[in-house]
Amino acid sequence: MAGMRVFADHGFMTASIQQVADEIGVSQPYVFRLFGSKHAFFLACLDEMERQMLDLIRQAAAASPDDPLSAMRAGFREMLGDGVITGLWLQACAAARRDETVAARCRAVISAILEELTQLTDVGTDGLARHLADGVLVVMLQAVGVDLTGGSLAAIDSLRAEKTTS
């Protein structure tokens, strides 16, 4: 969804529907006709992000039933590669600080992901917390431009080595 990139790059407050309309090649009134408001469009972008993440979780579990979490982590890192999901999520969390509707939507996304993980894996609460923490770490590292091709542990080692050499 084109709006995801616009909101990821510019933030909810700064992004304009005109930017979205320009990116997808339609008129601004058409976007408003579809969604009603910038706020509703932002929430629709969060819905699309959730759909993509749940699809990834389901596909990874189906492709690797013996080790679904490893497949999910690899798929998640790949999904974050272009920065859209990371940027959108960080912008949503920032907006959630002052917008209870966005905060509730963010909580619903997390809840849906945890529910899907519960259904598709045998991970308990501690494992879910670790998986969620790993995801947050990957988002943070990706947001600041850390190379994640070797995984988050390799990225942490790289950062530690960078600190000792600078």
CATH number at residue 62: 1.10.357.10
Q: What is the pTM of this model?
A: 0.88
- Distance CA(85)–CA(92), nearest Å, equals 10
User: Average model confidence (pLDDT) for the chain?
Assistant: 92
The stretches in the chain having pLDDT less than 70 are 164-166
Say what the pLDDT of residue 96 is. 97
Residue-number span of the structural domain to which 116 is assigned: 2-165
Please tell me the predicted confidence (pLDDT) of residue 164.
Answer: 67
- How confident is the model over 95-130, as pLDDT tens digits? 999 999 999 999 999 999 999 999 999 999 999 999
pLDDT recorded at residue 77: 85
17 with 41: CB under 8 angstroms?
yes
Measured at the CA of 87, the angle between CA 15 and CA 13, to 5 degrees, comes to 25
The residue among 146, 37, 13 whose CA lies nearest residue 92 is 13
Max CA distance (Å), the chain:
55
Which of 126, 154, 128 has the alpha carbon at shortest distance from 141? 154
The C-alpha atoms of residue 127 and residue 31 are separated, in whole angstroms, by 41
Instruction: Report pLDDT for 80.
Output: 87
Total of domains in the chain: 1
